[in-house]
Structure 1
Amino acid sequence: MSDLPIDQHLDHVKNVLVTSNRLMLIAQPGAGKTTRVPLALLTADWAKGQKLLLLEPRRVAARLAANYMAQQLGEKVGQTVGYRMRGDSCVSAQTRLEVVTQGVLTRMLQDDPLLEGVAGIIFDEFHERSLDADVGLALSLDVQTSIRDDLRLLVMSATLDIKALRRVLGEQVPTIECHGRQYPVTTLYRPSLNSEESVSHALRVVNEALLMPDTQDVLVILPGVAEINRLVQALERVLPELVIRPLHGRMSIAQQQVALAANTSQQRIIVSTAITESSITVDGVNVVIDGGLERVPLFQPRTGLTWLTTRRINRASADQRLGRAGRQREGVCFRLWAQEQPLTAYGEPEIQQAELSSLVLELTCWGVASPQELSWVTPPPESAWRSGQALLVQLGVLDKQHRLTPLGSRCAHWPVEPRIAVMLERAAEFNAVPLACGLAALLEERDSSERSLHDALALRLSQPKRFPQWQREALRLARKAGVGLDEAMLQPLGPLLALAYPERIGQLIEPGKFRLANGKTATLPLNDPLAHQSFLVAAVLNSAAGDLARIIAGEQLSLASLLSLYPVISLWQPRVKWSQEQGRLIGEEVQAHASLIIAKRPLAHLPEEAVKDALLNALRQQPRQLFGKKLQQLLGRMALLRANVGEQWPDWSEQALLATLESWLAPYLIGINRLSEIEALPVERYLLDSLTWEQKSEFDQLAPQALKVPSGKVIMLDYVPCLSQYPPVLAIKLQEAFGWRVTPTVVTGGVAVMIHLLSPARRPLQVTQDLMSFWQHGYPEVRKEMCGRYPRHPWPENPFTATATAHTKRKMNK
């Protein structure tokens, strides 16, 4: 084997892991960490007779890494080195190094929390911060700290967020850095011309790259399949003599291998998504053209919808992409943006932008009621966590106490997201398990141009060989369900989709416009066959703006099917809501599915608890009704103490108070059914009463409501600026401050008050936190300008000896 930069560090890596069970390894692209480190660790004493797991972020990377390492040992993959991923594995009894995709680790941990026979786990390319990688590390740390302190954990990448990782791995965790790339890469910046379309821009730079004398194969990285297909078509038209290969995650493994296979007789251009960003050496490539964009799913907890967005990549990803050009020889990287374009250091972790129902289910199965019980590099956002819990409750996977139901226990064994697992489990209720298996595979693999799920599934069932990836996944699910896929009979898909997407069941408002169960409004073109249906299920939505979504793919649903699937709809439920038009709460009994009203009738008596809930919801939608000036002053005082004393003082921010209305405000809402009545409540007293007597006393000392000024008056402080992390303000007529040399303070001298010195007309003359400096340097100019404008008011030459007063000269003389 040829020498690689990582080789000189292998002994150090092995030695550190003898005495430490955690290690961070930073090695630049092309250093050889993915394939050299795992093979070296196989010979460590602590690993003998046991397995190592190498986690890769993508299936194609896992297969390539396993094949390459097997070749280095002179073996076939599946012997000492094997791989395991969803729906595909190649391992044997003699396999000691398993290259697995990141989700497989979670399944292994759930099946065997002891990880018996596993000596260590290597997290490769951790900088990508996938949800599966974060979950896998959190669970592995839980295992290591509780029952397996001998389990080694190695986190490695070219670009690690060291500070974030040290917070979870320990501040003293050993860190090894391997500098230097195998071959140098020249970086060239090629921003697009004015109004130049992205694919045309990429095509122009490809032509430039091909004219360079040392160019061999070219790798172009674009954000999505649509852009890839357009560029491939353009390249095939203008460069028919070259081999043009698309590469993306929707392709089968076999198709991906064809795209990556070197062709020594012809020059290749590979047009890829970020699938080639890391862990892959693309043979023959020495030129990378990086579009600088990525397409990522973003989740809205408020609506429960996820949509794809295109955004600028981060610096870590850009470095990884550049590294593809220097793996086998000197290379060039064309970056299709300006050199001065700023890039964030790291990408936002997927856990911060993903729908988290799968995570909630995994942790519930793990026995964790709250994510705070585990150690996270980045904790799950609370709003997305609650949204995931709510969805699982609606699906019947969790009960109202967020405990696993019998249905949830069965769903946990399906290797799909929870909503699809529910569909597969409940499909037997109407003899549609084979159909559900085919539909589940379709929802994962469907082309975005296919508008009708019914037609798309019919095509795949009739011509499965045209869709190998769909066929493989559908057959895998069918085998797990114990059915044959050929049994699938095309019947209305609406009921199956309604099981998976209960919150996306839509009710006709007007032709082409539907109210969804989650409260959102969704639309269809009027010429769509579904535009006039009374009910439908919107399986795929484009949620680009506000509360309006566009239905991309859906199916009809009959009212009878809806009532059959969710019989609780037939029960009459009291519902109280705020009427903006009437300015009060109104009540009715409804037969409903979430926000969809099937039938309703007036409610004579408003239940007390329902009234409270409706009022609290109304306040959250119209918080100005609650946060008046008096309350804002109180909240500003508390914000000042939290910022300068510490978090032993409660969080009275607007966000925190709205989230906890049930605990501090709800008990006082008895007999109230209008928001205007809440405005009259002494809400400031309710909050103060939540403090102990000692806290109240200290609160008034540290953040007094008013200060006595030299004129003898007691003037209220304005604490509203403290809500924005500014000091409190004392607005005082300039003449009332004569003789005041030291700026007043609060919080036991810790914060100087911001003094607004006012003219006799109560307009600001000076804003200062340094009175002495103002009297010495600013006051002479103010006096010169003001004494002629306000001659009846005193403007002494020496403000230090003058008598402070709120009156004119005449009143002073009397």
Structure 2
Amino acid sequence: MATLPIESRLDELRGAMSRHTRALLVAAPGAGKTTRVPLVLLDEAWCREGRLLLLEPRRVAARLAAGYMAESLGERVGQTVGYRMRGESRVGPDTRLEVVTQGVLTRMLQEDPLLDGVAGIVFDEFHERSLEADLGLALTLDVQSVRDDLRLLVMSATLDVEALLGVLGSGTPLIESHGRSFPAATRYRALSSSHSSRDETARQQATAVLDALGQADGDALVFLPGVAEILRLARELTNRQPALAVRELHGRLPLEVQRNALRPEADGSRRVVLATAIAESSVTVDGVRIVVDAGQERVPVFQPRSGLTRLETRRVNRASADQRRGRAGRQGPGLCLRLWAEEQPLVPHGEPEILQADLAPLAFELARWGIVEPDALAWVTPPPAGALAAGRGLLQRLGVLDEVYLLTEMGRACVRWPTHPRLAVMLERAGELAARPLACTLVALLEGRELDAEQDLERVLRVCLADPASHRQWQREAQRLARLAGVRLDVGSLAPLGELLALAYPERIAQRLEPGRFRLASGGLATLPETHPLAHAELLVAAELDGQARGAKIYRGAAISRERLEALFAEAREWRASLEWSEEQGRLVGDQVRGVGAVVLERKVMQSLPPEAVREALLEALRRRGELPFDENAVQLRGRVELLSQTFGDAWPDWSMPALLDTLETWLGPHLDGIRGLDAVARLPLGRLLLDCLEWPLRTRLEDLAPERLEVPSGSRLRVDYAPCLEGRPPVLAVKLQEVFGWQSSPRIADGRVGILLHLLSPARRPLQVTGDLASFWANGYPEVRREIRGRYPKHPWPEDPLAAEATARTKRRS
């Protein structure tokens, strides 16, 4: 067997792990870190009396890694090496190395916070920065505070070392292995942008793939953003080259199909593997010498204000592109063909999932851990306050969290269900409807891979129930949930389907406005094709939406009757004041209504307007507008504070527009007494209200760090424009050129950390030059400006040496 590159660093790693409880390992793809390092650590003294956990980001990677390591020991999986993931495990009494998926670690920690019997944890491929990996690391670090013998190793092909050392400690040893790679030629081939159809894109991709096969030896691995793109390209390649072995590799496929895609063809024929990002790391696709990268990735992005998640197709980041290219040089010289222009800029790294995900599951796990303030844990990237608040708000709406964000009785009951808290509530409350077997089948379907886009939920359920043998993955998960529930998987009627969905998705209850157009309980709008069976339903519950809050597309759902909705939700039976701002009428309009959120089952005229309801209606109207009526002084104040927030960190508040809209109740709400219209809100001194919210120590430093005016060499005190700081740009000082004679360099503020952008003006106050480097302008730009402009303004000074000249706001003195 060839020596792996990681072998040369193993002694250093052993020493680091024996002397320290934490270490970082950065090893290039193909170095052997995943399968070699854990086996070596098993023989260390600190590990001999306990188990070692190896965390993998994906199920297929966990199974393959466990299988490879067991085979290298001459054993079966489940002996020394085993694996554990949701719904499946192969471990035995002699298992010392468990390969687990990241969510399993969180569950193990929650069930046994001291991890009794575990000697160490290895985080593999941490650069992917999944939400579960970030949470698992934060909880593990918390455990280490009471278990000083627990070892922790974080490893990956690429790591943000500085950020990790920030939470692990600056003294954490760092071991690097450059890995083994063969030269891989990188070529670029931008697809034509004149054709926008998806089929035409697939045709261009197919041409590129076939050309690449003609330019290099070996099999080809093609990276595409999603399953739809894989199916289109597979169809195109098969039509053109029927003899070519085209294999798919993505998470929806059964395990055996995934394994087959990773192995070369038995007859030695060439193959093309069409893969999502699942093939980017962790697994090796044998025989690949050609990589064709479409340059895109599909990521779910959660929108806290709408509560919806939207799948976005983005340009791949540079780190991922380099990782993909590395696949071409793993087993020999290769070729990487990138389907974009070489000059196309790429962002350096992808965003951690914690910054763009639904944080309701994180909020649930924090509550289980007994954490109210997330700052109590050490995070590589802290959870965003807005998304965490949205997640906690959902869990409170579901009855899972109380007012201080700890678990309620319902929340503690939901702990037993290994699923999203929404679905855990459905499973727990299904007993009230005598529908727990149906709930088990429904959850397995919603979390599984049986559903394709825009399929009818009830129809798919009937198909699965009629032929469970053809849907084994769904059947296994449904049976597992049924065992947890202590019921037989004996589904009778599908009638409670809408009620079950309403328990999990109360804000997605929708009322028909016209055929195919619905208003959600959350206030947004959603649509269905008019030909869809549910398009004419009076009420339905959407199980999945595409994330566009002002016109979300419903992918699947179920109808629910008015009577069943009223039986499920007490608020649907109680009258409440409902006020909203009418843009058409320019005033508040109100009724008494009963219903669920914005879904109104009945309304009647309101005789008077309650002050609290007026306040809430005005605040909601401002949120819907998406902006606030700030005058110029308020804009400048916000810009100053935004600059200091970006420069000095969390000590200064976030006064961006989204943050202020999210906190209207706190800073604006108390000042709305007696106000009945948005025009009156615009007359409020909003800048002063914000300034009053600024803590006194910060308020006293505001003028020193971000002064409203700066004195220039002429003696004038000119106003600094901080509005650009709201868009991430530097502050601006517009000043006549003659007034800065003698200024050696550009002025700086915020304790010298921020430079001001000078807009140098002519005597007529017209722009001459924009510069952030005044010294460079004097040396290089001024002579040309002087030559071109002095003839137009002969009464103003234009000295050859501006640094020695006297600054002035006036014309030359008369002789």
Q: What range describes the TM-score normalised by the shorter chain of this pair?
A: 0.7 to 0.9
Q: Secondary structure at the match of 2:397?
A: helix
* Matched residue, 2:503: 499
Q: 1:103 Cα deviation (Å)?
A: 0.8
| CA radius of gyration, larger in | 1
TM-score when normalising by structure 2: 0.87
Distance change in 2, residues 1:639/1:391 (3 Å): closer
Q: Secondary structure at the match of 2:30?
A: coil
Distance 2:573 2:192 in 1: 61
Aligned residue among 222, 228, 231 for 1:229: 231
Distance 1:256 1:802 in 2: 77
8 Å CA contact 2:515, 2:536 repeated in 1 = yes
Distance 2:313 2:176 in 1: 33
Distance change in 2, residues 1:242/1:748 (3 Å): closer
Distance 2:468 2:397 in 1: 34
Q: Secondary structure at the match of 2:93?
A: coil
* Matched residue, 1:556: 559
1:138-287 alignment to 2 at 5 Å?
Answer: 138-144=138-144, 146-181=145-180, 183-192=182-191, 195=195, 197-211=200-214, 214-215=217-218, 217-241=219-243, 243-267=245-269, 269=271, 270-287=273-290
8 Å CA contact 2:84, 2:91 repeated in 1 = yes
1:595-634 alignment to 2 at 5 Å?
Answer: 595-622=598-625, 626-634=629-637
8 Å CA contact 2:212, 2:290 repeated in 1 = yes
Q: Secondary structure at the match of 1:436?
A: helix
8 Å CA contact 2:736, 2:809 repeated in 1 = no
Q: 1:746 Cα deviation (Å)?
A: 9.5
Aligned residue among 458, 461, 468 for 1:457: 461
Aligned residue among 534, 543, 553 for 1:530: 534
Distance 1:458 1:576 in 2: 43
Q: 93-102 or 407-416, which moves further after superposition?
A: 407-416
Q: 685-694 or 567-576, which moves further after superposition?
A: 685-694
Counterpart code for 2:472: P
* Matched residue, 1:419: 422
8 Å CA contact 1:574, 1:590 repeated in 2 = yes
Distance change in 2, residues 1:807/1:688 (3 Å): farther
- Residues 668-711 of structure 1 show CA distances to partners (whole Å, capped at 9, x for unaligned) of 33222223333443444445555688876765677676789999
Distance 2:746 2:71 in 1: 76
Q: Secondary structure at the match of 1:785?
A: coil
- Residues 45-69 of structure 1 show CA distances to partners (whole Å, capped at 9, x for unaligned) of 0001200001111111111111111
Q: 1:658 Cα deviation (Å)?
A: 4.3
Q: 1:302 Cα deviation (Å)?
A: 2.2
* Matched residue, 1:791: none
**Residue 591 (str. 1) matches residue 591 (str. 2):** no
Aligned residue among 476, 480, 486 for 1:476: 480
Distance 1:755 1:527 in 2: 59
Distance change in 2, residues 1:77/1:488 (3 Å): farther
**Residue 85 (str. 1) matches residue 88 (str. 2):** no
Distance change in 2, residues 1:288/1:571 (3 Å): same
- Residues 262-287 of structure 1 show CA distances to partners (whole Å, capped at 9, x for unaligned) of 54334252333222222223344444
- Residues 373-426 of structure 1 show CA distances to partners (whole Å, capped at 9, x for unaligned) of 222222222222122112212222223443312222122221111111111111
Quote the RMSD (CA, aligned, Å): 3.9
Counterpart code for 2:116: E
- Residues 115-164 of structure 1 show CA distances to partners (whole Å, capped at 9, x for unaligned) of 111111111111111111111111111111x2112211111111222222
Distance change in 2, residues 1:642/1:359 (3 Å): closer
* Matched residue, 1:486: 490
* Matched residue, 1:394: 397
8 Å CA contact 1:285, 1:324 repeated in 2 = yes
* Matched residue, 1:670: 673
* Matched residue, 1:790: none
Distance 1:752 1:708 in 2: 13
Q: 1:554 Cα deviation (Å)?
A: 1.9
What's the % identity of the aligned pairs? 52
Q: 190-199 or 665-674, which moves further after superposition?
A: 190-199
Distance 2:743 2:32 in 1: 68
Q: Secondary structure at the match of 1:445?
A: coil
**Residue 308 (str. 1) matches residue 311 (str. 2):** yes
Distance change in 2, residues 1:340/1:412 (3 Å): same
- Residues 238-259 of structure 1 show CA distances to partners (whole Å, capped at 9, x for unaligned) of 5454544323211222332343
* Matched residue, 2:516: 512
8 Å CA contact 1:242, 1:266 repeated in 2 = no
TM-score when normalising by structure 1: 0.87
Counterpart code for 1:667: P
**Residue 785 (str. 1) matches residue 788 (str. 2):** no
1:638-649 alignment to 2 at 5 Å?
Answer: 638=641
Distance change in 2, residues 1:669/1:54 (3 Å): same
Distance 2:315 2:387 in 1: 24
Q: 1:575 Cα deviation (Å)?
A: 2.8
* Matched residue, 2:375: 372
Counterpart code for 1:256: Q
Q: Secondary structure at the match of 2:23?
A: strand
Distance change in 2, residues 1:243/1:802 (3 Å): closer
Distance change in 2, residues 1:685/1:391 (3 Å): closer
**Residue 21 (str. 1) matches residue 21 (str. 2):** yes
- Residues 598-643 of structure 1 show CA distances to partners (whole Å, capped at 9, x for unaligned) of 2222333333333333333334445765411233344455556667
Q: 700-709 or 16-25, which moves further after superposition?
A: 700-709
Distance change in 2, residues 1:608/1:449 (3 Å): closer
Q: 553-562 or 577-586, which moves further after superposition?
A: 577-586
Counterpart code for 1:410: A
Q: 1:460 Cα deviation (Å)?
A: 0.8
8 Å CA contact 1:427, 1:496 repeated in 2 = yes
- Gap runs ≥5 in structure 1: 788-793
Counterpart code for 1:164: A
* Matched residue, 1:445: 449
Distance change in 2, residues 1:683/1:214 (3 Å): closer
Counterpart code for 1:540: E
Distance change in 2, residues 1:288/1:694 (3 Å): closer
- Residues 213-244 of structure 1 show CA distances to partners (whole Å, capped at 9, x for unaligned) of 842x4433332222333344444455454544
Q: 614-623 or 310-319, which moves further after superposition?
A: 614-623
Q: 445-454 or 63-72, which moves further after superposition?
A: 445-454
Distance change in 2, residues 1:19/1:720 (3 Å): same
Counterpart code for 1:558: S
Distance 2:749 2:230 in 1: 61
Q: 604-613 or 31-40, which moves further after superposition?
A: 604-613
Q: 52-61 or 608-617, which moves further after superposition?
A: 608-617
8 Å CA contact 2:57, 2:125 repeated in 1 = yes
Distance change in 2, residues 1:353/1:518 (3 Å): same
Distance change in 2, residues 1:197/1:607 (3 Å): same
Distance 1:183 1:702 in 2: 53
Distance 1:701 1:10 in 2: 54
Distance 1:292 1:540 in 2: 27
* Matched residue, 1:32: 32
8 Å CA contact 1:161, 1:346 repeated in 2 = no
Counterpart code for 1:6: I
**Residue 547 (str. 1) matches residue 546 (str. 2):** no
Counterpart code for 2:229: E
